[in-house]
């Protein structure tokens, strides 16, 4: 094992040095060099205590949000008997977790997978069990946990078809890592088969559904929505279409298809587009022409003049508020050669929601929403305009929104199954 750790560390070092021109330039360009380097090197800002400790690892914002009901349920069931620690990889995820769990549980940075960094992290934290959200399995971390008899489980597990194909090519190397899992609680049977295909024993794989159904809040209003509308100059008397998590090329598509729409009452439609990645904000602005940009009106001093109907949400953390303002939501990264974005948030907010043909990363969620008539999926960009028009201010739009919420309520229950798994891993009885 020491020899394997040394070889792995050497491989990581060679890969890091070889790719440094790429990642260093990207980090400088995006500002990601200003990160918690001390934390990424395994210096954990929390010490072990006498309680059982459960480490829940979430990579970024989406995974962090999915842990919300689980952390609450664990603390409600086990109280002071259990200490929950949430580790996060990305800066945006860390900020979200810190805000979400302020005063509830400790949030720490997940280390790089070099052996001395992982060992430092685990020896400081001393977890009794680890739960990895969705997939995030690293060989060094797994070996360090196994060496200390710390059970590691994947929860809310997912393994997409394209990821599985890549993993299978390196199964001889990655298979042992999967076989060391104490459990894999996955979202659907297709994912279960892929985990088994990677070497997880059949009796360690269970289908629990996704916790995103549980964390989806059925709200009619969202904090910050009114302030966002006021700051940007969005006219609340006119309909608004919000295109969230857009990908490359989609801003042009959305403007072409939706910018000149009117609703069933003949009112002009406002269009707000929110790119998925901040490094694309300027690119999106150029594609949209001359939109009102959120970054230029943080306090409303440069809000849109009356009559402006094109808005760019070039800020992080405001998409939910934007969806709350929408009359119709369009989910991006589904009209370009990507794999979709999470459609559950606008559906939970009671918005009639439209999505494009590419949704491979959310196949099970899409199947359930489509079966329950809770979302509209269009085959291409040409069909988008007609679909949005049909939903704007019509009974069909209200019906679709209600059915979408019904689907969410019907699919809940995964969180409690993960609480039971945690109790088993930690050997806690109540």
Exposed e or buried b per residue across 106-116, where buried means at least 16 C-beta atoms within 10 angstroms of its C-beta: bbbbbbbbbbe
How many angstroms separate the CA atoms of 110 and 43, rounded?
9
**Can you state the angle between helices 2-18 and 20-30, rounded to 10 degrees?**
60
**Tokens read off for 8:** 């792995």
- 225-410 CATH choice from 3.90.1150.10, 3.40.50.2000, 1.10.1740.10, 3.40.50.2300: 3.40.50.2000
Considering the entire predicted model, what is its pTM?
0.82
Q: Quick check: 287 and 252 in contact, CB under 8 A?
A: yes
pLDDT of residue 247: 96
Smallest Cα–Cα separation from 161: which of 333, 360, 364?
Answer: 360
Q: Quick check: 345 and 362 in contact, CB under 8 A?
A: no
> Structurally, what CATH architecture does the domain formed by 36-209+413-426 represent?
3-Layer(aba) Sandwich (3.40)
pLDDT of residue 304: 60
- CA 408 to the chain's CA centroid: 17
Q: Distance of CA 208 to CAs 39, 63, 95, 155, 156, Å? A: 32, 16, 28, 9, 7
pLDDT per residue as tens digits for the range 360-418: 989 889 999 999 999 999 999 999 999 999 999 899 999 999 999 999 999 999 999 99
Q: Quick check: 156 and 414 in contact, CB under 8 A?
A: yes
Smallest Cα–Cα separation from 214: which of 359, 426, 428, 418?
Answer: 418
Domain ranges of the chain: 36-209+413-426, 225-410
pLDDT of residue 164: 92
Smallest Cα–Cα separation from 194: which of 229, 230, 152, 166?
Answer: 166
- CA 179 to the chain's CA centroid: 26
Q: 100 phi and psi, to 5 degrees?
A: -70, -35
Entry field: residues in the chain: 430
**Tokens read off for 307:** 């009559």
Taking 50 as the pLDDT cut, the residues of the chain under it are none
- Would you say the CATH fold of 225-410 matches that of 36-209+413-426? yes
């Amino acid at each position: 094992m020491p020899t394997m750790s040394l070889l792995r560390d050497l491989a990581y070092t060679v890969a890091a040095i070889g790719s440094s021109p790429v990642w260093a330039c990207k980090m400088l360009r995006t500002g990601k060099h200003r990160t918690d380097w001390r934390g990424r090197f395994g210096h954990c800002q929390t010490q072990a205590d006498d309680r059982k400790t459960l480490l829940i690892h979430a990579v970024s914002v989406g995974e962090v949000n999915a842990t919300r009901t689980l952390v609450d349920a664990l603390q409600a069931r086990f109280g002071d008997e259990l200490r929950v620690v949430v580790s996060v990889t990305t800066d945006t995820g860390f900020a979200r977790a810190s805000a979400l769990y302020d005063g509830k549980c400790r949030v720490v940075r997940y280390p790089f997978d070099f052996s001395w960094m992982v060992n430092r992290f685990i020896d400081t934290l001393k977890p009794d069990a680890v739960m990895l959200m969705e997939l995030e399995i690293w060989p060094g971390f797994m070996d360090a946990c196994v060496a200390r008899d710390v059970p590691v489980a994947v929860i809310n597990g997912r393994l997409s078809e394209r990821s599985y194909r890549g993993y299978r090519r390196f199964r001889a190397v990655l298979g042992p890592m999967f076989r060391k899992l104490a459990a894999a609680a996955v979202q659907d049977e297709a994912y279960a088969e892929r985990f088994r295909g990677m070497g997880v024993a059949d009796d360690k794989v269970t289908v629990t559904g996704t916790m995103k159904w549980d964390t989806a809040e059925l709200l009619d209003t969202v904090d910050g929505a009114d302030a966002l509308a006021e700051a940007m100059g969005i006219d609340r008397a006119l309909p608004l279409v919000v295109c969230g998590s857009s990908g490359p090329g989609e801003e042009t598509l959305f403007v072409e298809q939706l910018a000149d729409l009117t609703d069933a009452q003949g009112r002009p439609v406002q269009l707000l587009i929110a790119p998925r990645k901040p490094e694309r904000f300027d690119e999106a602005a150029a594609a949209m022409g001359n939109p009102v940009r959120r970054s230029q009106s943080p306090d409303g001093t440069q809000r849109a003049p009356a009559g402006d109907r094109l808005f760019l949400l070039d800020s992080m953390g405001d998409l939910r508020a934007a969806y709350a303002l929408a009359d119709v939501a369009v989910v991006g990264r589904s009209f370009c050669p990507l794999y979709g974005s999470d459609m559950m948030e606008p559906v939970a907010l009671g918005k009639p929601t439209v999505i494009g043909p590419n949704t491979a990363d959310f196949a099970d969620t899409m199947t359930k929403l489509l079966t329950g008539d809770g979302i509209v999926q269009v085959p291409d960009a040409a069909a988008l305009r007609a679909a949005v028009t049909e939903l704007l201010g019509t009974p069909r739009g209200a019906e679709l929104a209600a059915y979408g919420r019904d689907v969410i309520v019907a699919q809940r229950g995964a969180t409690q199954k993960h609480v039971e798994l945690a109790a088993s891993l930690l050997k806690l009885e109540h």
